[in-house]
Structure 1
Amino acid sequence: MTKILMTGVTGYIGGTVLTRFAQRPDFDSAEKIKSLYKNVTPIVGSHSDISLMSEACSEVDIVIAMADCDDVDAATGTLHGLKKCFDKTGSKPIFVNTSGTGVLSDKAAGMYATDIVWDDANPEQMATLQPTQPHRPVDLKIVAADTEGYVKTYIIIPPTIWGIAKGPLFDLGISNKKSVQIPALIRASLDRGHGGMVGLGKNIWHNVEVHELAELYNIIFNAVLTSPETLGHGREGYYFGANESHTLYQVGKAISDVMFKMNRSKGGEPTTFTKEEIDKYFNGSSYLGSNSRCRSTRSRALGWTPTKTTADMLESIYPETELAIELGESPTSTQL
């Protein structure tokens, strides 16, 4: 029996992926998620605890990490454990890590769109990413481990993720049902009384609906089990989980329109966040005004076919705003 360690299952991506995996017929042929819980052993502690992660990962065949993609300690502990596993068995374990297209981000601050589009099937282009980019220190550490030869690594890189996650884990309040970027913009806009954007909102990101992203994990997992020899790994193991693109202006305008429908603003064009608002809502970071464009060539070659569009994402802002109002969370100091 293949043993899997998943981290981050109380989070947005992790909870959605576990829910998707629970629907697989090969998970002990059990009754979907209820029976899966009977075959899950929780590990209490921090995934940043190197010794804890090392011990846990030494006992499994596959690690799927979906927690903090900037946590070098978590990656270190995971790799230590997988090296122990290899030394014991002689078989290379699998490490599927979650990064993010923030690794592609620039300093546009909403003032322009870039022509640069990163392709997950172009390892030479990916190798030019600077080690100072967000998420890059962990990504490089993982790829280096694959090169050393004791583990096969696959890095899934989602862009702006949207949609309210659904399933038992979310209904029970175990996992977080909402994303980060769009909800942060909604909370800030509700607080200031008008839809906002960084700079002129001209910057471009790609997007993906959360359940369609979970299907990419499922497809890669299938390939790991059935045809690993055809699956690019290590330096050729980047997989963008991206579908269509959008500008930050489009998101700000949709939020403004929704707030008008809810009688929470006068509507109209989104306005630029002031420096004081950037400090208040986003810890002084203009990250949401960056460009992050990508092409999911390698992911689609595996048969991943997302269908949710940018128009669908913009329509989702209404229920996202309803949820933000219901939860009543503080709009200040979002960590992006």
Structure 2
Amino acid sequence: MTESTSQTKIFLTGATGYIGGSVLDRLLHHPSADTFAITVFTRSAEKAKLLEESFGVKAVVGTHADHDKLEALAEESHVVFSCADADDLPAIEAILRGLRKRHASIGDLPIFIHTSGTGVISEPAKGMFASETVYSDLNVEQIKSIPPTALHRNVDLAIVDADIQGYALTYIILPSTIYGLATGPLVDAGISNPQSIQIPNIIRASIDRKQGGVVGLGKALWPDVHIDDVADLYIVLFDAITRDNKGIGHGWEGFYFGENGEHSWYDISKSISVAFVELGIGGTDSPTCFTTEELIKYWGSEDKGNYSGSNSRCRADRGRSIGWKPTKTTTDMLKSIKPEVELLWKKAQAGGGVKLSSSR
């Protein structure tokens, strides 16, 4: 991809991840891809080489602790997609410093699209009850009322502040329970991660105990969204901004939930349990409650384990208002569980163990 003055300079973090890889895939196949000069950031020199040689993107090797690199790359870019760690405030501050410098030096008003998560509106429930509170991303006062101590919130507030100060247009996408195996050339090349975190972690813990597990009674509710649908949301938003940024909400009006349905945690654990029986893994077709000891064993602490028993309820009204049309539903999510169980069971049998991924 040759760079010219007419090209849109895009910087994307998280290219080797589940979300970031899916977004990058869509940018590479975008109708205007020839006008993009894309730079990505990765820890792997091997993947950086593959990205440059096979996909035509500039790949810089580094970690998110390399704040000078992040700042410099952001300063060079008109659009930044942040698809890595939603809680790495120092890394985000470095990107924001770069965007501030860009605005000050050349007068450009850069675009910052950040990945947060609906964990920001989660409420502890230990699986014992469903919350009645449902958030809409069109309700700005409701979004403003989220406590500063909430998960991801310190990063989200720093990003909104950049918009308020006027040196960047900021947008925050908040995916919910993402499911489905990511596909495409980046996955095929071994560059990006094809699997999510939340449901696979419950599956991994359940495999170790040979019985589907659930936190409490599993009554708490969460929204869900397919990886393809949420990746499409980034592109729908990107296209809307670049077409007419004055008509698209940003800053406090720039929160975009990613959801297309709602499930109870019991629904997920029940589907895992049924898959275990059908695949001959063991257990009964109804989940049993994770003990405190198991929550600590599998998630590192009781609090982290209870995250899969919290409530987080929202509606993606803002995304739909700009033309996002997700197609996969909660029924599709539940159907996707058995293939994931089968995949993770095979990995465990091959010696992969049950190491859980860090949760968003």
What's the TM-score once normalised by structure 2's chain length? 0.90
1:169 is aligned with what amino acid? L
- Which of residues 319, 324, 334 is equivalent to 1:299? 319
Deviates more, 1:56-65 or 1:14-23: 14-23
Match of 1:97 in 2: 114
| Corresponding residue number in structure 2 for 1:213 | 230
Structure 2: gaps (5+ residues): 1-6, 37-49
Identity of aligned residues (%): 46
1:19 shift after superposition: 1.0
What's the counterpart of residue 17 of structure 1? 23
Q: Residue 3 of structure 1 aligns to a residue in which SS? A: strand
Q: Is the 8 A contact 2:51 2:58 kept in 1?
A: no
**1:331 correspondence with 2:354:** yes
Q: Distance in 1 between matches of 2:272 and 2:53?
A: 38
Secondary structure at the residue paired with 1:130? coil
Query: What is the correspondence of 1:130-169 to structure 2 with a 5 Å cutoff?
Result: 130-169=147-186
Residues 24-63 of structure 1: pairs in structure 2 closer than 5 A: 24-28=30-34, 37-63=54-80
- 1:37 CA displacement: 4.9
Q: How does 1:216-255 map to 2 (within 5 A)?
A: 216-255=233-272
Deviations 1:203-252, CA, capped at 9 Å, x for gaps: 00000000111110010110111011100000110000111000000000
- Partner AA of 1:192 in structure 2: R
Q: Report the Cα distance in structure 2 between the residues aligned to 1:283 and 1:129, rounded to whole angstroms.
A: 26
CA distance, structure 1, for counterparts of residue 53 and residue 322 of structure 2: 26
Q: CA deviation at 1:322?
A: 1.8
CA RMSD, 1 decimal: 1.7
Deviations 1:254-302 (A, max 9, x none): 0000000011123221111000100011112211110000011100001
- Whether the aligned pair in 1 keeps the contact of 2:279 and 2:342 (CA below 8 Å) is no
322-331 vs 302-311, which deviates more?
322-331
Bigger CA drift: 85-94 or 198-207? 85-94
Label 1:290 to 1:194 Cα distance change in 2 as closer, same or farther (>3 A): same
Q: Which amino acid counterpart does residue 294 of structure 1 have in structure 2?
A: C
- Point out where structure 1 has 5 or more consecutive residues left out of the alignment: none
Conserved? CA contact 2:52–2:58, under 8 Å: no
Helix, strand or coil at the partner of 2:293: helix
Amino acid aligned to 1:331 = V
Q: Is residue 199 from structure 1 mapped to residue 216 from structure 2 by the alignment? A: yes
Aligned twin of 1:76: 93
Cα pair 1:53 1:78 within 8 Å, conserved: yes
User: Are the equivalent residues in 2 in contact too, given 1:157–1:238 (CA < 8 A)?
Assistant: yes
SS at match of 1:28: helix
Structure 2 letter corresponding to 1:245: E
- Secondary structure of 1:306's counterpart equals coil
- AA aligned to 2:322 is L
Structure 1 residue 39 displacement after superposition? 3.5
One-letter code of the match for 1:152?
L
CA distance in 2, matches of 1:46, 1:78: 13
